[in-house]
Structure 1
Amino acid sequence: MPSSTLFQLHHQEALRTSKRLNRYFWFGAMISGLFYAVISFWLIQTIFGSNHWLVDLTNPKIWLPSAAFTTTVLITLLYGYYEARRRYSERSAIEHLAALGGELVRAVINPRDRQLINVVEEMAIAAGVLPPTTMVLRRDLSINALVMGGANNSIALAVSQGALNYLTRDELQALVAHEIGHIVNEDIAIYSKLSAMLYGYYLLSEFRHRKDEHVHTAPEKFWHLGDIRGVSNVSIVISELIGFSGIIMMLYGRFMQAKFAREREWMADARSVQFTRHSEALVMTLKKALALKIHNGQLIHPARAQQHFLFLLYHEAPSLFATHPPLEERISRYGTVAKKEELEAIVFKMRQQMSKSDTDKPQIQHKALFTASIIYPLLIAQEQESQPLTPLDTPTTEHREAAILSFFIYHSTQTLFELRFNNIIDQHREAHCARYLKHLSEVHPLAQLPLFTHYLHDSSPEEHRAIHALRQQIKLLIQLDHEFSFFEWCYYLILRNFLSSSSEQTLDYRAVQVHIEQVLALCASLSSENEAKQNAYYLELCTQCLPLSPQPYTAPLTTPQSRINSSKAVLMLRQLKPIYRQQLRYSLNTFWENQERLTLPALYLRYTLNQCLQ
Structure 2
Amino acid sequence: MDFFTQQDKARRQTGWLVFLFILAVVGLIVLTNLLIGLVVWSVTQEETMQRGLSVVSQTDTQTIAALFSWNTFGLVSLAVAGAVGCAILYKWFQLSSGGKAVAESLGGVRLYPNSEDADHLQVLNVVEEMALASGMPVPAVYLLEHEIGINAFAAGNGPADAVIGVTKGCVQQFKRDELQGVIAHEFSHILNGDMRLNLRLIALLHGIVFIGLVGELLVRGSRSRRSDSRVAVLGIALLVIGWLGTFFGNLIRAAVSRQREFLADASAVQFTRNPEGIANALKLIGGYSSGTEINDSHRSEVSHLFFGQAISKLSNMMATHPPLVDRILKVDPDWDGNYLYRSTVTRERKKEEEKLTQAEKREAFSQAIITGAAVTSGIDPEVLFSGSADLDQIRREIDGIPALLHEQAHDPFGAIAVCYLLITHIEPSLQEKQWQVIAQSGIKGIEPLMRQLYPVVEHLDISARLPLIELLLPALKCMSQEQYKRFKHTLLLLIRADAKTDLFEWCLYQLVRHYLAGEFEPVKASKPRYKEAKALSDEYQLVLSVLAHKGHEQEADAQRAFNRGAGSAGLYNISLLSEDACELERFIRAVNALSYAYPTLKPRLITGIKKCIYQDGEVTALEREIVSSIAVVMDAPIPLFIEPH
Bin for the TM-score computed over the shorter chain: 0.3 to 0.5
TM-score scaled by length of structure 1: 0.47
Structure exhibiting the larger radius of gyration computed from Cα positions:
1
Structure number with greater CO (CA < 8 Å, separation at least 6) is: 2
TM-score scaled by length of structure 2: 0.45
